Amino acid sequence: MVYNVWLFILVSAFISNVHSVSNANSFDMFFGMRKKKQGVNYRQEEKKILDRIMGPKVYDSRIRPSGLNGTDSATKVDVNIFVRSFSKIDDVKMEYSFQITMRQQWNDNRLRYVDILEQQPMMKERIKYLTMTDASKVWMPDTFFRNEKIGAFHNILQPNLYIRIFPDGDVLYSIRVSLTCGCSMHLALFPLDEQTCALNIASYGWTKNDLVYQWLPDGAVQIPKNLSLPGGFKLGGFGNQYCDVVTATGEYSCLQVDLMFARQLSFFLVTIYVPCMMTVTVSWFSFWLDHKAVPARVALGVTTLLAMSTTQASIQNSLPPVAYTKAIDVWSGVCVFFVFSALLEYALVNYASRSDEQRSVKQKEKKEKELEQYLFNPERMEDGGMGQVNEDPLLRRIDGSQMVQTSTALNARRYTRRQTYLTYWIRNFQFQAKKIDVFSRVLFPFSFALFNVWYWSYYLTRTQAKHD
């Protein structure tokens, strides 16, 4: 009885094992057919390739890649810069801020996997390169920006960088960076100047014996056509060159990007030059006002002088203090001089008017004395001229004035013979104060026009020559 029970248990266990094996085989056959229908999992194949070429026994990221054809020469790094946008160009701090995408490409023969792809033709057509986002897994050049003041990487939503490994071992590293770089500006021609600022890219620790930077042959510096610049600037041009530097620790490879910022003159014409010209022109209105209108002329002169001084102060506050004279300093200084001269002109006119009054009183007294001497001349009295003297003072003044006018007419004829008509016209003004105002109406605008001709021809010529 016991024997039969044990036999039954063994037979049941055997049957259950056979049934489970048959179910497993059918399960494997079902999913195997699905795998065949789905094809190769290329993501899994990429993982296998990365594990194979970057295993700890095969690849060491601390070691620099060998040179061309596996030699010990320097590693060549091709660099390409794409300028995305400019955020600030500061004249006071002499710096500029912009955002770039920097791409570096070099060959690391240890990362070749073209022989792996050749074994499977379908993978060779599908896998063009391998993409990574962890820069610590591969060797990277120790690139830095020599004239950088502030720099920042972009990590929203993920770090804005990628690494592509190509089958022949080429490594492409691309990253988006925001930089604030120093720029030594020469502002002698401000605001008619063009500033050339640089971005220097170099290796911090590897000398030229180990690492050499070189520009990508096609498209070393890329800038979009619709790029706009802040602060009244426009992009006048850009270029690239080499700037290798020798220090106490060796010679280092360096690349330089040149960016030329040209100021938009229309902005400064509207905000600086035209307002200054209007202020200077308003100060000339006092020449047409009567010299006796003291409050009007003084208020006009002081107001225009204060307005010009305020404009000059605002211009100086927007620029750094430098040891040389700028073009805008010449313009604002001359404008202040013209406004101040217009105010001094009225002081001279006021002084001349008082002198004219005193002169007119003296001339009147002198004429009266001459008339009395003429009327009471002894020779005329002997000829009986005494009886012809009018007792009425008004008639005596009329007779005397006719005689004076006759002599004046004779003198005028002499002047017209010896001197020009303009000199005669100037000398026969009744008041000296009036002469000063009339001269100022012509002299001030003419002088300011001459200054404008010299200013614009001189500084625009220098700017154009510098641009050429």
Give CA angle at 272 (267, 273), nearest 5°.
95
pLDDT single digits (tens) 406-417: 444 445 455 445
Question: 300 versus 1: which is more confidently predicted?
Answer: 300
Is the per-residue pLDDT at 18 higher than 80?
no
| Domain 53-263 is found in CATH 2.70.170.10 | yes
The Cα–Cα gap between 312 and 328 comes to 9
pLDDT single digits (tens) 99-131: 999 999 999 988 988 888 887 777 777 888 888
Intervals of CATH 1.20.58.390 along the chain: 268-467
Intervals of CATH 2.70.170.10 along the chain: 53-263
Is the per-residue pLDDT at 424 higher than 80?
no
**72: pLDDT confidence band, cut at 50, 70 and 90?**
confident
Distances in Å between the Cα of 74 and the Cα atoms of 68, 139, 146 are 8, 14, 21
In this structure, what DSSP letter does residue 271 have?
Answer: I
Is the per-residue pLDDT at 457 higher than 90?
yes
Is the per-residue pLDDT at 9 higher than 50?
yes
Residues 370-393 have a mean pLDDT of 57
pLDDT single digits (tens) 243-270: 999 999 999 999 999 999 998 888 889 9
Q: State the pLDDT at residue 30.
A: 41
| Class of the CATH-defined domain 268-467 | mainly alpha
Q: State the pLDDT at residue 73.
A: 85
Q: Please tell me whether residue 215 adopts helix, strand or coil conformation.
A: strand
Q: State the pLDDT at residue 203.
A: 93
* Tokens representing residue 156 in the block: 């929203």
**6: pLDDT confidence band, cut at 50, 70 and 90?**
low
Q: Element (H or E) spanning 175, and its range?
A: strand 170-182
The Cα–Cα gap between 279 and 286 comes to 12
pLDDT single digits (tens) 307-357: 999 988 888 888 888 888 999 999 999 999 999 999 999 888 888 777 766
Q: State the pLDDT at residue 29.
A: 45
> Which range has the worst mean pLDDT, 59-63, 85-89, 123-127, 338-342?
123-127
Helix axes 327-375, 393-418, angle to 10 degrees: 130
Instruction: For the chain, give the percent of residues with pLDDT over 70.
Output: 73
State the chain's mean pLDDT as an integer.
80
Instruction: For the chain, give the percent of residues with pLDDT over 90.
Output: 38
